[in-house]
Amino acid sequence: MRWTRAWHGNCERAMTSMSHIALAPGEPLLEVDNLRTHFHTLAGVVRSVDGVSYTVRAGRTLGVVGESGCGKSVTALSILRLVPTPPGRHMGAVRLRGTDLMQLSEREMRQIRGNRISMIFQEPMTSLNPVLTVGRQIAETVQLHQKASRADALQRAVEMLRVVQIPEPERRVNEYPHQLSGGMRQRVMIALALACNPEVLIADEPTTALDVTIQAQILDLIKRLQKELGMGVVMITHDLGVVAESCDRVVVMYAGRKVEEADVVDLFDRPLHPYTRALMASMPSMNTASTRLAEIPGLVPAAHELGRGCAFAARCSHARERCRAETPQLTLQGGDHVVACFAVEEQWANAAEVSA
């Protein structure tokens, strides 16, 4: 109890030391509308992100799941316009509280990145600058976006290290990334991302390569800070356990497209797309400890090899000729659960006929 009160006290002091934007729970913050990121290469046009749409709300966590190569991280980088153009090309809209980020100048985007939208990258050791102390890296962000003095920015760095529960922050602030453990580096990344009180936090595989205990601590830390700030969180992961634990709504991506989206409880109770069901069947659980885990045959197709039809058809046991000839579109399948699958459409149509 004493530790909890101390933690909240530290968090309140750190979060109120800079300007805070009041956010109503559930308020739409970030609206990604038909986002496409294509690359022009010698092999042809690579559609890494191909028509993805979703909404991030205040105080809510949106999970984005799928295998490696499904376009999850490229979508996040595209939102922040960190994909180099050329060879990349962005289309569609990304609206932050009504402002389309795709229409802003690069100078205006620099005021958004790390300030109103922050991102925790996959590998803290390669994302942090190895020749600068962690305190200086946090302080530079505060100086850039909050126009604070160097002394105030360094004090803010100490406060943020304390918020993310790094012991002896006054000492650690002068250390370099290689002097910290993997869990501590990940906490530094969170401190860096939250130093300016962002409205939206994008967490790209924030628990990768961490042991189970540290994973739980990192996820709990993000949830605690989200509650304090009321920010929206995008949790990019391939771990459905992380999704079940920390997300309110889930987007399932495959080969650059969104194939299913639903509230987290609805998705786990009623997965509709064959890919979503295959992902869940491949998850280890206490009930399947003595049985062989299911696997998804084949691999995610390369983006430049995608042709007509459903990208999952070659790996799907429910595929038929129509799946190989036409691309399924997202359709509403009860409540706010959407899925892009001809087999699901036909099942629902047949069920409607029987009930009629």
Q: Are 198 and 231 in contact (CB under 8 A)?
A: yes
The string of DSSP letters for 7-51 reads: HHHHHHHHHHSS------TT-EEEEEEEEEEEEEETTEEEEEEEE
Number of H helices, E strands in the chain: 14, 12
Return averaged pLDDT per consecutive 10 residues of the chain, 356 residues in all: 42 46 78 94 86 95 93 94 87 95 94 92 82 94 88 93 90 94 88 90 84 83 86 93 93 96 96 94 69 80 82 90 92 92 79 48
pLDDT score at 296: 87
d(CA 121, CA 180): 17
Q: Are 91 and 38 in contact (CB under 8 A)?
A: yes
pLDDT score at 87: 83
pLDDT score at 353: 46
121-151 in b/e form (b: 16+ CB < 10 A) is beebeebbeeeebbbbbbbbbbbbbbebeee
Domain 2-254 has CATH 3.50.50.60: no
pLDDT score at 356: 45
Question: What does the domain layout of the chain look like in residue ranges?
Answer: 2-254
Half-sphere exposure of 86 (CA within 13 A, CB side): 6
DSSP state at residue 236: E
Containing 165, the helix (H) or strand (E) segment is: none
Q: What is the pTM of this model?
A: 0.87
